[in-house]
Structure formats: structure tokens, C-alpha cells
Amino acid sequence: MKKILITGKDSYIGTNFKKYLEQYSDEYYVEELDVRNKSWKEFDFSQFDVVYHVAGIAHSTPDESQREFYYKVNTDLTYEVALKAKQEHVKQFIFMSSIIVYGSGTIGEDRIITKDTPLTPDNFYGDSKKQAEIKIKPLEDENFKMVIVRPPMIYGPGSRGNYPLLAKFAKKTPIFPTLENKRSMLFLGNLMEFIKLMIDNEETGIFLPQNEEYVSSKELIKEIAKIHHHKIWFTGLFNPIIKLFNKQVYVNKVFGNLMIDKELSNYKDNYCKFSIDKSVEVTEVLS
């Protein structure tokens, strides 16, 4: 039986991963640890094989007043947890970074992340994740395996961030632009299977998991609306106007292009258990 410690109690990803592994209760023991106060430093990590670090602040348009706090939580805390894990002989450390370390997508340009794409975050949220990666990487050795995960937008039942905003819009709007774009996304269920495989195979390295299919905002809106029996008129009338606002963060979030090269996401075991259509259906029915 593998013993897994999730650092980040009551987090969306951590709590769902704990639930996911409950179906394999004879194979895994999972515990969540609150790291919001310093009492976590007294907790014994040595009884665990894996530390899965999900604690952090995630907001792609952070307020400037929060800059110091982002680095304190996303960078410094990550390093402190990783260091303690190594000192107490944990075998594997898994860190949830983000695709945001590469910067944002753009309208009208095919932005594809490859193995040669540099880390160029365009705000301090992304940079705080990048700095965390830089700080923890030297801790890795043959006895302390490290997995850094850089996922794209994660969605699923009860998720936060961009997806629920798009879903709410899809259920109400009578019209939507036909402007084409492509983005990488990752369904919660596919992520859960991926992390399980990282643990089972005792992996080490940097990974960029994603769904098998890229998705456009137009197709996503259409699929959500169909599930809720809502009719939307798709028109190209607004496309030129949208392109004029291609420097606006929120516009780029919806209509920008940001894809992970499929080669970077290939893995020896299949982790994409849900297609885009099925994952959207599950998300909408259970949310």
C-alpha cells in the first residue's frame, strides 16, 4: 500500500484526488494536511511515500496588492514543503505548477507550446509558479523523485475559474461569435488518472497533461448550451470588434489560442478516460 500526503487541505484538486483513490482503498492510504498555518511543520512526513503538493493561489489576473502573498504561498511554501519531504525521506514529490508559466494565449495567432518554448510568464502569478519550479528542482536526486505538472485550464464538477463563467454565459446568451480558436484543456477525471499513474510508475520529470482534443470556445459554448437545451445564434458580426481588443486579458482568455503540442502530453499509459463531449456532459450534470 502506498501512503500519500496531500498538502493543501480542502483544495479542489486535492479533495477530488482523495475521493478518486477511495475506489482503490486497498492500494492507497491518503491524508490531507492543512498548510495554512505553521503547525504543518510539526507533522511527520516520514510515514508517507508521496507528497502531492496542491496548495497555492490560482488567479490568472492577480491584484498587484497580492504580489508578496503570491510569492510567499506559491514559491516559498512550495519549497519549504518539498525540503521537509526530502529531509524526512519521502520518495516522491509531485508539484502542481501551471501552463501559466509560459504566458497567455493570443487572438489570431497559433500559440503552441513545444519542448523548446521558454518560460515567459506575463504576470506574477505565473512567475511565482516558475520560481517555485526553479527552487525545488535542485532538491531532486535518485532517492527523491520529483514530478512537476504544468496543466492547462482544469475543469470538472464544481470547478472554479474560467469554465464555470463560460458555462453560465452559455446557458443565458442568445448570441455568440464564430471567431475560431484552439485551446488545451484538462478534465478533472483525466487529471486524477494522470496523477495516479505518476504515483504508480514512480515517475520523475516535467509533464504537460491535456485532453486528447483541443477545444474552441465556440464549440464549448455550443456543447454546454445543447446539454441545457438552450439555443444560441452564432454570428461573425462581432469578430472584427473582438480582434480589436486582443490585448485585453479577459478577451484573450475566451478567444485566445494556447495549445500544448500533443507530443508533450503523450504518456505510455492512457490517462484520458473522458472525451471532451463526455467530460462536459459530466461537468454540467453534476455541477
- Rounded Cα gap, residues 162 and 84, in angstroms: 34
Neighbours of 145 (CB within 10 A): 18
- Per the structure block, which three cell numbers stand in for 21? 483513490
Mean per-residue pLDDT for 32-57?
A: 97
Q: Across 18-164, where does the E strand assignment appear? A: 28-33, 50-53, 92-96, 112-113, 145-149, 153-155
Mean per-residue pLDDT for 129-135?
A: 99
Going across the sheet that includes 92-96, the strands are 28-33, 2-7, 50-53, 92-96, 145-149, 205-207
61 — pLDDT class (breaks 50, 70, 90): low
Beta bridge partners of 183: 215, 258
Per-residue pLDDT tens over the stretch 227-284: 999 999 999 999 999 988 877 878 888 999 999 999 999 999 999 999 999 999 999 9
* pTM of the full structure: 0.96
Neighbours of 35 (CB within 10 A): 22
Q: What domains lie within the chain, and their CATH numbers?
A: 2-154+187-210+261-274 (3.40.50.720)
- Which residue would you say has higher pLDDT here, 162 or 259? 259
The C-alpha cell 504566458 sits at 103
The C-alpha cell 495567432 sits at 109
Mean residue pLDDT of the chain comes to: 95
Distance of CA 11 to the CA centre of its chain: 12
Phi-psi region of 182 (alpha: psi -120 to 50; beta: other; left: phi over 0): beta
Beta bridge partners of 4: 30, 50
Mean per-residue pLDDT for 141-163?
A: 96
- Rounded Cα gap, residues 186 and 100, in angstroms: 14
Mean per-residue pLDDT for 32-56?
A: 97
pLDDT of residue 233: 97
Q: Across the chain, where does the E strand assignment appear? A: 2-7, 28-33, 50-53, 92-96, 112-113, 145-149, 153-155, 175-177, 185-187, 205-207, 233-235, 259-260
